[in-house]
Amino acid sequence: MKPKHVVVLMGGVSPEREISLRSGNAVAKALGDAGFTVSCIDVKDEKIEELDQKEKDVVFIALHGYFGEDGGVQQLLESKGIPYTGSGITASKLAMDKLATKNCFVEAGLKTPDYITATEFQELNEIQYEIMRLGLPVVLKPIRNGSSIGISIVKDISTLQLGLKKAFEFGYEVLIEKYIKGRELTVGILEDRALPVIEVKPAMEFFNYDAKYKDNRTEYLIVEKTAEEDGNESGNSLLKIGVLPSSLYAEAQELALHAHRVLGCKGFSRVDMLFDGKNEFYLLEVNTIPGFTEKSLLPKAAKAAGISFSALCGKIVDLAFQSALVSVNETIQN
């Protein structure tokens, strides 16, 4: 039994609405090309009453941020008994919450940059004291936001207040991470297996919102594996852009898969990490609904594995539908 009718949810009510519309439109076209009957809903509230009038076998969630990746829309769909793509309520909540994600990594023994938190109710001098104990530079991140919105690097304590103000625009609590200088890597997960590693080389200081969506100078490189002996010929080999010795390449993939499983993600995700050039990887986050344009990182990784964009979207729909069938059969048997 195969799904035929797919409803794509896009837009949404988060600051990432524009990106979500791009993802949703790209997914809708790809699914149409793959032979599905597709209808789209531009989500503008948290009720999505239009869903009740649509014929659907599966809902493809192309919503980013609030009421997309945080378990909200997943809870709505489950209450209606509608199969949907991607991770469930609990995993979505964990992955959307950067602090909860970090805590899961630490509990599982997975390396992640050292961190503290701060709230807008704390005195500035108290936050400064904690940061100086952690050590500059640090990265300030809103705890529940995506697309690198509200993120800044603080190298000098005099710029802290400005960075905090920027981050507090998106919530009362901020994650403060020790800055790790290194290569930015991302590993897509599809059907519980790791896709090829991609390296992001932003022209800016780090991969922020502008670097992702506005700066055409950002480079995305499919990482090549080299033999171990090649990696030992030069002391700079581990810093070479776009290349990793095969053992470290495999380690990055395994680490990404472990992170995906630790949070309980399902179907697909994209795991971001840093590599410091000293054989150390640092997990940053897991994206349960990464970008879904043909230029986005998960589709790039899938293409490197020989999976076209339309095939990727179709596979994600099939996974959601088959998972729903398994759940129904288990319910009947019990």
Q: Could you read off the pLDDT of 286-325 as tens digits, one per residue?
A: 999 999 987 799 999 999 999 999 999 999 999 999 998 8
Beta-carbon-side half-sphere exposure of residue 172 (alpha carbons within 13 Å): 3
Model confidence at 207, pLDDT cuts 50, 70, 90, reads very low
- Rounded CA separation 174/235 (Å): 37
Q: What is the pLDDT of residue 233?
A: 45
Q: Note the CATH number of domain 181-288.
A: 3.30.470.20
Q: Torsions phi, psi of 142, nearest 5?
A: -55, 140
> Which tens digit of pLDDT belongs to each residue from 40-95?
999 999 999 999 999 999 999 999 999 999 999 999 999 999 999 999 999 999 99
pLDDT tens profile 251-281: 999 999 999 999 999 999 999 999 997 889 9
d(CA 16, CA 170) in angstroms, rounded, equals 12
Q: Contact, 287 vs 256, CB < 8 A? A: no
130 CB neighbour count, 10 Å cutoff: 15
- Report how far residue 85's alpha carbon sits from residue 31's, in angstroms, rounded to the nearest whole number: 13
Q: Which architecture, in CATH terms, is 114-178?
A: 2-Layer Sandwich (3.30)
5-86+310-333 belongs to CATH 3.40.50.20 = yes
Beta-strand pair 243-245/224-226: parallel
Of the two residues 265 and 208, the one the predictor is more confident about is: 265
Q: What local confidence, expressed as pLDDT, does residue 294 receive?
A: 74
| pTM for the whole structure | 0.91
Q: In 196-308, which residue ranges form alpha helices assigned H by DSSP? A: 209-213, 228-231, 246-262, 297-304
Q: What is the DSSP string of 63-105?
A: --STTTTSSHHHHHHHHTT--BSS--HHHHHHHH-HHHHHHHH
Domain ranges in the chain are: 5-86+310-333, 114-178, 181-288
Rounded to the nearest integer, the mean pLDDT of the chain is 91
Inform me whether the pLDDT recorded for 232 exceeds 80.
Answer: no
The residues assigned a catalytic role are 16, 147, 213, 270, 272, 285, 287, 291
